[in-house]
Amino acid sequence: MKIQIVCFMFLWSYAHSSCVTPLGATSECVSLYDCAPLLASFEQRPLPSHVVSFLRQSSCGFEGYVPQVCCGPLPAQTSTSTPRPRPRPTRPPNNNNGQRSPVEAEDSSPAPSDVCGIDTQGDRIYGGQFTDLDEFPWMALMGYRTPSGSITYQCGGVLINRRYILTAAHCVTGAITREVGTLVTVRLGEYDLQSETDCMNDSCADPPVEVPVDSSHPHSGYSDSNSDKRDDIALVRLAQRVKYSYYVQPICLPDGRSRLTVGNDVFVAGWGKTLNGRNSPVKLKLKVPIFEKENCIKKYRTLGAELTSNQICAGGKFAEDACRGDSGGPLMRAKNNGVWESVAVVSFGYGCGRDGWPGVYTSTANYLDWIRSTLQSTNV
């Protein structure tokens, strides 16, 4: 009896059921990411509404969090791009059948927009500030080897392709190397540092992956001794290419066109210091508003810091801020099409969470050329 049940469950989870596509053809209900024609239709930005509605009609359920589609071609006028091989963005949890051979993305370019920033639709937000288990799968923890030989995680970052993490310069150079240690490892796919397997509502994440650091590349304009912390941005090259999974995925970089305006809500996430004064073991997120730049410049001028046009201010509400340990992590926003982009890097603040004092962030959009050229010149 027991064996029968197990066999049945096995067949149930691996056999694809047949279905009828919106165009009337008989097909199979498969993961969206295994359906090249429909996946290719995601290339268009913004997604035309007729494509959205065709995708919706093609839906045939979910496996874990992964949308399943009745796979078939789009109607002629809907399909504007020819399907081509691409890296696969996600994989259902616990479904590593190992049969797919992902097309490798170029290490020297940021993630293509159709396979980055995918909204994993974290739908079980706990207590407002905890992220969902699967939320922000690009979040990275930067690990330092201390003089005593142990590893401590003291900064955040984001995965932007299979080889590189975007973080803050002060997370890879200057005081941190003397006071904490050398950056040696990056942890991806982490949720709660205190538990080995992270689970929520009966679903468990894959174990986190620890990737050794190959080299760190802080922006040459950064120096600890500049009080404005200008050019506080860095790229970290990993010693190995990262395998994308449901819990490890890259975020998009801004395309340089969209502007942030005052009051826009963006999210900051990390494992940094919380109100209780300790680093959080659990990945946290916080919605912060973009703060008026002129006002921010005036405030920081009183502290002797002259902010540049490459910095963004956000937050400014009492007890709502990034803090120590969040540095290098992202300020993110979801674009209208639901794709997440990393708009800035956590840099510094005047203490944390003081009323009227926003945090200062390095604007990613102002460094796209630097990112591109650094990816190229360091990818040896």
Q: What is the DSSP string of 166-177?
A: EE-GGGTSTHHH
**Do residues 281 and 272 lie in contact, with contact meaning Cβ atoms separated by under 8 Å?**
no
202 flagged as catalytic = no
Return the number of the residue (159 or 171) whose C-beta is nearest ligand ARG. Answer: 171
Give the Cβ contact number of residue 276 at 10 Å: 7
Q: Could you give phi then psi for residue 56, rounded to 5 degrees?
A: -65, -45
The full DSSP string for 35-72 is -HHHHHGGGSSSPPHHHHHHHHHHEEEEETTEEEEE--
Is residue 274 near ligand ARG by the rule CB under 6 A? no
* Burial label, 89 (beta-carbon count in 10 A; 0-12, 13-18, 19+): buried
| 137 vs 270 by CB, closer to ligand ARG | 270
Give ∠ CA 182-188-194 in degrees, rounded to 5.
85
Q: Per CB under 6 A, which region of 86-94, 120-128, 179-187, 341-349 contacts ligand ARG?
A: 341-349
Q: Is 192 a catalytic residue?
A: no
Residues 268, 278: Cα–Cα separation, whole Å: 18
Report the amino acid identity of residue 292.
E
Task: Determine which residue in the list 233, 352, 365, 375 makes contact with ligand ARG, applying CB under 6 A.
Answer: 352
For ligand ARG, which is the closer residue by CB, 175 or 199? 175
Min CB(166)–ligand ARG separation in Å: 15
Q: Which of 34, 232, 321, 326 is catalytic?
A: 232
Q: Single out the segment in contact with ligand ARG by CB under 6 A; choices: 60-68, 138-146, 247-255, 319-327.
A: 319-327
Give the residue with the Cβ less far from ligand ARG, 6 or 303.
303
Q: What is the token pair recorded at 291?
A: 């703060």
- Give residue number: closest CB to ligand ARG: 349
Q: 219 catalytic, yes or no?
A: no
Q: Which of 323, 339, 343, 344 binds ligand ARG (CB under 6 A)?
A: 323
Q: Report the residue number, 67 or 329, with the smaller CB distance to ligand ARG.
A: 329
Nearer to ligand ARG, 138 or 348 (CB): 348
| Binding status of residue 293 toward ligand ARG by CB under 6 A | no
Residues 116-175 that bind ligand ARG (CB under 6 A): none
Q: Alpha-carbon distance 250 to 273, whole Å?
A: 24
Q: Is 348 in the site for ligand ARG (CB under 6 A)?
A: yes
Q: Facing residues of 341 across strands?
A: 252, 333
Q: Are 332 and 244 in contact (CB under 8 A)?
A: no
Residue 322 lies near ligand ARG (rule: CB under 6 A): yes
Of 60-68, 82-90, 345-353, 368-376, the window that binds ligand ARG (rule: CB under 6 A) is 345-353
**Residue 320 binds ligand ARG, judged by CB under 6 A:** no
Query: Is 359 near ligand ARG (CB under 6 A)?
Result: yes
Calpha distance 355→313 (Å, rounded): 14
The residues of the shown chain that bind ligand ARG, judged by CB under 6 A, are 272, 321-327, 346, 348-349, 352, 359
